[in-house]
Amino acid sequence: MALTITGLSKTYSNGVKALKNLSLSIGNGMFGLVGPNGAGKSSLMRTIATLQDPDSGSVSLDGIDVLRQKDEVRRILGYLPQEFGVYPKISALDMLHHLAVMKGMTNLGERKGSVDALLQQTNLWEVRKKALTTFSGGMKQRFGIAQALLGNPRLIIVDEPTAGLDPTERNRFLNLLSSLGSDRTVILSTHIVDDVRQLCPRMAIIASGELLLEGSPAETLAALKGKIWSKVVATDDQAQALEKQLQVISTHLVGGEHEVRAFANASPGEGFSAVECDLEDVYFLTLARHGSSHMVN
């Protein structure tokens, strides 16, 4: 499956330019779309999911014109939006049957087999008769994936799926997502870089509605090999002084002290040591080069 996005632009009525001539190609498997809050990720996902139209540009999904053949897209689409609402007093079982009917699964036997299998797959079988209002955040996200998988969609979009989950639920949810990408296209939109590192063989970084970088995590890491340097300083003032002198890409608190990570082709000075780069380094350096300020403290 191939999703081709060409020249998408979108400006909202309040003047916010959410997408700026954005072009991107996404193939089969897991694809990570990373960017800070307000980068345009949700606007792009809503456009692909046929929920809004762009001002200009085109989107093609295996020969289907996404912007004009919306019903055809919806037949092969599964979507878990960032804000996923449910009827709180309905059980997971009844809600999935209701949503399945809305997706055109009118045969009771077929529908029952599909719903039961999805409840098992998402580890919700034991709580299938409980009201959705009693579900934890992670359980609600797993239910969201179950509804997105109704009808065996070929394209799945999940928007900020692990935000707010505790570490255990996040791990469980990521394991579930990883099992989905082998035979379909799954787009994971997130501001959590580590989610992409764990799941996605291809990724893109966007900010301010623009595509800043596209490639595999391995390729982007290789480009920074030997160019990331780290130094621990005691005070915030020392860290800020280094930010004025060097191309600092992030600062982290480590045991009450400040780890400063900088980009340089050679050692930037006394006390710095070369460190193995990670995907966060790629992310923050890309944003810094774009002029976005998203330092970690």
Where does a domain end: 172, 198, 216?
A: 216
Q: List all residues 6 or more positions away from 33 whose beta carbon is below 8 Å from its beta carbon.
A: 41, 44, 45, 187, 188, 189, 190, 203, 204, 206
- pLDDT interval class at 292 (50, 70, 90): low
The boundaries of the domain holding residue 49 are 3-216
Where does a domain end: 197, 216, 235?
A: 216
131 and 231, same structural domain? no
Q: In whole angstroms, what is the distance from residue 165 CA to residue 185 CA? A: 24
pLDDT in tens, 110-160: 999 999 999 999 999 999 999 999 998 888 889 999 999 999 899 999 988
Residue 294, pLDDT score: 45
Whether residue 296 lies inside any domain: the answer is: no
pLDDT in tens, 174-191: 888 888 877 789 999 998
284 and 200, same structural domain? no
Q: Are 44 and 206 in contact (CB under 8 A)?
A: yes
Whether residue 257 lies inside any domain: the answer is: yes
Whether residue 36 lies inside any domain: the answer is: yes
The tokens describing 17, both together, are 């330019």
8 and 146, same structural domain? yes
Whether residue 111 lies inside any domain: the answer is: yes
157 and 17, same structural domain? yes
Where does a domain end: 173, 196, 216?
A: 216
Residue 208: pLDDT over 90: yes
Compute, in degrees rounded to 10, the torsion defined by CA atoms 128, 131, 137, 140.
Answer: 50
Structural domain tally of the chain?
2
pTM assigned to the model: 0.87
Whether residue 55 lies inside any domain: the answer is: yes
Average pLDDT of 280-295? Answer: 81
For the chain, what is the mean pLDDT? 91
Residue 191, pLDDT score: 87
Q: In whole angstroms, what is the distance from residue 177 CA to residue 148 CA? A: 12
132 and 212, same structural domain? yes
245 and 177, same structural domain? no
